[in-house]
Chains A and B, each alone.
Chain A
Amino acid sequence: MDTLTNFINGTIALFGDPLGILIFLGGVIGGMLFGAIPGVSMLTLAAILLPFTAHLSPEHGIMLFSVIYCTGVYGGAITAILFNIPGAPENAPTAFDGYPMTQKGQAGKAVGAAVTCSAIGGTVSAVIMMIATAPIAGWAISAFGPPEIFALVFFGLAVASSVGAKTFWKGWLSILLGLLIAVVGLDPVGGIERWDFGMPYLLAGIHFIPTILGFFAVSEVFVQVEKKARGSYSAPKVSVDFPSLAELFAQKIAVIRSIVIGFFCGILPGIGATLAAFMGYNEAVRWSKDSKEFGTGKMEGVVSSETANNAATGAAMIPLLALGLPGGALTAMMVAVFQMHDMEPGPLVFLNSADLVWVVFSAMFFANLSILLIGFLETKTIINLLRIPFQFLAPLILLLATIGAYAVRGLPIDIVVMFIAGIVGFFLRRSGYSVAGIVLGLILGKIGEQTFAQAMQMLHFEWSGFFSRPIAITLIIAGMLTLLNSIYSSFFKKST
């Protein structure tokens, strides 16, 4: 009952505040557009907005990001289905069957299925998130001290490195690079300067906002420049049909299976929604009796991928809000929003700012529902937006990023740092490294080192002390096993 009351209160707080409504709508539409337009993604939008969230309340900032998350993972479905160009990686598997459906003249039905299933997957995931997060946070408040938090960060990074990049080694190196960047500046225990190379700028550490902007907004533009091949699209006429109830009911197993898979992928650190979509699709093929029909325009393919990616969104919020552990690029940026307001995400947020949590939860619930409504209204707009050539979008993105990087502290050097991060990100991405992994390492580096130092002081520098703390040792062993398994697989296991 508590959950329901809190949800109602959160909803009233969300929609009773005109600025809140404006931000919510902006997030819903912005997420969808940036998800849909090839060459930019919801991460580009989130990175550009990140510096400006300093002027919003933490409640509005986190709410904006969570809404962008929900609609952003859906946005690319439309272009994946109509043009075989997934707007974002989360929608890549949607194109496998969505585009053949368009070729067969069933575009409307495919878009309709994507809209409906995204909304179902996301809403169910949001409901589970609302029910599960508070008890986990409540348990974590009493059970988690520095050793446990360190163990959790270790476990999170171990899993993220294993499922976050093309190969385990690239994932792990990406995260280690992020952790190294976090070392620059003053050490968290004694305040000793590290790796400042005599530059006063580096004394305060490399700021995460220019870095995030560089890795996500700037490097994306550079990658698009290299891709270049961006012709004009001939837009097919499309009207959106809801699949009939009977058709939808026939997909019930696929929907349920994808919700479970999506939720599981979302909760694990790594590439969340994208992996969810691929796994959802793969499992659909594996379970199917007529698996050969996949790829030829089977609705189940669209359903499986779109349900799974939205189901990952609510799940990803559980470790973030209950334990303070971000699992991917977008949730890492949410940690940055918290940090800009001098808050640490984690179980204490529930105690200190319960209002924030419930506004965010309500917003995510309604954002997923709004996919139904706006998804239908927006489809035609998106087709027109595809006509905007990227060469006109690129300077806009770069200038917005420039202003964002500068606005944080008024330092021109932050702009240079951002563009350097963009160049580094560009070269790392084209070698198969993961910029999301770097940002995850960067955000978790400080927390990791600090809690490690606190834990060692608490345990009187006896490593065996971890063994007397069951949660910490379980997480450490689980992290170790994940790493060992990934190392073994990278050398000896056949590709699957």
Chain B
Amino acid sequence: MKNLRIAHIAEAAIWLSLALLLFVNSFDFNQEIEIYKYGASAWPRALLLLIVVAAIGQLFGQWLRGESQGSEMLGKASDDGAELAAELSDHNNPKWLLWTFLIMTIPFFYMNVPGIVGDLLSLEKAGLNHVKLLTATVLLGIFLLAIRGNHIGGMLTLPLLFGAFLQDFGFYFTAPFFILGTMYLMGERRWKNMVMIGALIMGIMLALFVSLLYVGLPTGIISPFYEFGTSIVNLLQ
């Protein structure tokens, strides 16, 4: 095995699987173009080939020399501390990674489950909204339980969850929770400060983007969140 570690093999496996998946998918658009004999798939496939070469090259380099390949100065110049932070916090272990990835799937459930349930039960809009509300509540509960002891996983997922809820529940309702949640996950526990600074941030956002620049942020779709969002917009504009 020389200098090779499991992480190196996993890294190469990820690149190679990505290349394989995309290669298989490239048959979908493997069409000829009249004026261009290489067609639509030549360029992407050339890139995939290069990825395979680079992934194997990297693995070979790691086998030969471990992490010490490349110049020390380039290593220092391109170091942003992210690797060291991961190492120090012991977040490279498979258990943590698996846990974190599972947490990160929660928002995707919200993006897909209500639609599927709605189709199955042939629900109208009002019924679908109820399913969305219920799904959101359940997933939020699971999220809060799952991030106990894994605040980084929570921090990675919270923005995605915010993004997933945004369209249905609106920016104006979800953003304050997002602000407070971010502060909490980053270790802030002084509630008074959190509320005061959260209100300040929200105030700046609303004054700048809604009152001044007229950016139309999502008001939400589901009642009563929609009414809440539009009333704030009406108040500010």
Contact = CB atoms under 8 A, between A and B. Distances in A.
A426 B70 CA distance: 22
A229 to B, nearest CB: 8
Interface stretch (A74-82, A193-201, A237-245, A369-377): A193-201
Interface string A305-337: 000000000000000000000000000000000
Contacts of B75: 166-167
A14 interface: no
A429 B70 contact: no
Nearest to B84: A227
B186 interface: yes
A13 to B, nearest CB: 26
Interface stretch (B54-62, B122-130, B138-146): B54-62
B82 A399 contact: no
A38 B224 CA distance: 41
B163 interface: yes
A222 interface: yes
Interface residues of B, number: 85
Given A392-B183, A394-B182, A431-B11, A189 B35 contact: yes
A453 B42 CA distance: 10
Contacts of B162: 402, 419
B187 interface: yes
Nearest to A398: B159
Contact of B201 (A194, A396, A449): A396
Contacts of B163: 402, 412, 415-416, 418-419
Max count, chain A CB within 10 A of own CB: residue among B25, B55, B73, B198:
B73
B60 A491 contact: yes
B79 A487 contact: no
Task: Tell me the interface secondary structure of chain A in the complex.
Answer: helix
A30 B70 CA distance: 35
A223 B152 contact: no
Interface stretch (A170-178, A348-356, A359-367): A170-178
Interface string B61-82: 1001100111111111111111
A431 B55 CA distance: 14
Interface of A: 89, 92, 163-170, 172-173, 176-177, 179-180, 183, 187, 189-190, 192-195, 197, 218, 222-223, 225-228, 271, 274-275, 277-279, 282, 389-392, 394-396, 398-400, 402-403, 406-407, 410, 412, 415-416, 418-420, 422-423, 426, 429-432, 434, 449, 452-453, 456-457, 461, 487, 489-491, 495-496
Interface of B: 11, 15, 22, 25-26, 29, 31, 33-41, 43-44, 47-48, 50-51, 54-55, 57-58, 60-61, 64-65, 68-83, 85-86, 89, 91-92, 104, 107, 111, 151-152, 155-156, 159-160, 162-164, 166-167, 171, 175, 178-179, 182-183, 185-188, 197-198, 201, 204-205, 209, 215-218
